[in-house]
Amino acid sequence: MQKRVFFTHRFLPYWLIAPQIAVTLVFFYWPASQAVWQSFLLEDAFGLSSTFVGFENYRTLFSDASYYQTILTTLVFATAVTLISLSAALLLAVQADKPLRGATAYRTLLIWPYAVAPAVAGVLWLFMFHPSLGVVARGLRHLGIAWNPMLDGDHAMILVVLAAAWKQISYNFLFFLAGLQAIPKSIIEAAAIDGARPARRFWTIVFPLLSPTTFFLLVVNIVYAFFDTFGIIDAMTGGGPAKATETLVYKVFADGRLGGDLGGSAAQSVVLMIIVIGLTAIQFRYIERKVTY
Amino acid sequence: MVEHSRFRTVTAHAILWIGIAIVAFPVYMAFIGSTHEASVIANGQMPLTPGPLFVENYYRTIFIGSSGSTREPVSTMLLNSLVMALSIACGKIAISIISAYAIVYFRFPFRMTAFWIIFVTLMLPVEVRIYPTYKIAADLHLLDSYAGLALPLIASATATLLFRQFFMTVPDELVEASRIDGAGPFRFFKDTLLPLSRTNMAALFVILFIYGWNQYLWPLLITTRDDMQTIVIGIRKMITTADALTEWQIVMATAMLAMLPPVAVVVVMQRLFVRGLVETEK
Nearest to A237 by CA among A132, A123, A136, A139: A123
Chain A CA closest to residue B29: A128
Domains of chain A in sequence order: 69-289 (1.10.3720.10)
In sequence order, the 6+-apart residues with CB closer than 8 A to the CB of B169 are none
Q: Is B230 within the bounds of a domain?
A: yes
Residues pairing with A52 in the sheet? A41
Tell me how far apart the alpha carbons of residues B94 and A107 are, in angstroms, rounded to a whole number. Answer: 31
Q: Does A110 touch chain B (CB under 8 A)?
A: yes
Average model confidence (pLDDT) across chain A: 84
Question: Is B116 within a domain?
Answer: yes
Selecting from B27, B155, B243 the residue whose C-beta is nearest the C-beta of A27 gives B155
CA distance B59 to B34: 11
- Please report, to the nearest 10 degrees, the dihedral formed by the alpha carbons of residues B80, B81, B86, B88 taken in order: 100
In this predicted structure, what is the pLDDT of residue B50?
Answer: 81
Provide the pLDDT for residue A46: 63
Query: Which range among A149-158, A164-173, A237-246, B229-238 shows the weakest confidence by mean pLDDT?
Result: A237-246
What's the pLDDT tens digit per position in A68-94?
A: 999 999 999 999 999 999 999 999 999
Q: Answer whether residue B43 is part of any domain.
A: no
Residues 181-210, chain A, touching B (beta carbon < 8 A): 185, 188-189, 192, 198
pLDDT tens track for A163-179: 999 999 999 999 999 88
Q: Which residue from A282, A264, A277, A289 is spatially nearest to A58, judged by alpha carbons?
A: A264
Q: Per the domain annotation, does B252 fall within a domain?
A: yes
* Residue B175 maps to a domain: no
ipTM for the complex?
0.87
Q: What gap in Å lies between CA B168 and CA B159, rounded to an integer?
A: 14
Q: Is residue B250 part of a domain?
A: yes
State the Cα–Cα distance between residues A150 and B57, nearest whole angstrom: 28
Contact predicate A283/B281, CB 8 Å: no
Question: Considering only CA atoms, which of A207, A216, A208, A221 is closest in space to residue A97?
Answer: A207
Cis amide leading into A241 (omega within 30): yes
- C-beta separation of B31 from B48 below 8 A: no
Question: What's B244's domain CATH number?
Answer: 1.10.3720.10
Q: Give mean pLDDT, residues A20-42.
A: 86
Q: Decide: helix, strand or coil at residue A45.
A: coil
The per-residue pLDDT for B71 is 67
Q: Taking 70 as the threshold, does the pLDDT of residue A6 lie above it?
A: yes
Residue to mutate among B128, B161, B207, with most A CBs inside 10 A, is: B128
* Domain count for chain B: 1
Query: What residues of chain B score a pLDDT lower than 50?
Result: 1
* Distance between CA atoms of residues B247 and B73, nearest Å: 14
Q: Do B175 and A125 touch (CB under 8 A)?
A: no
In Å, what is the CA distance from A61 to each residue of A247, A261, B29? 15, 11, 42
**Would B67 be classed as within a structural domain?**
no
Domain containing B235 equals: 74-168+205-280
B282 contacts in chain A (CB < 8 Å): 287
For residues B61 and B257, the answer to whether their CB atoms sit within 8 Å is yes
Nearest residue in A to B213, CA atom: A117
* Per-residue pLDDT tens over the stretch A88-147: 999 999 988 888 888 888 888 888 999 999 999 999 999 888 888 888 888 888 888 878
- Whether residue A291 is predicted with pLDDT greater than 70 in this model: the reply is no
**Does some domain include residue B189?**
no
Q: What is the rounded distance in angstroms from the CA atom of residue B243 to the CA atom of residue A132?
A: 9
pLDDT top residue among A193 and A288 = A193
The residues, any chain, with a CB within 8 Å of residue B110's CB and separated by 6 or more, are none
DSSP string, A55-93: THHHHHHHT-HHHHHHHHHHHHHHHHHHHHHHHHHHHHH
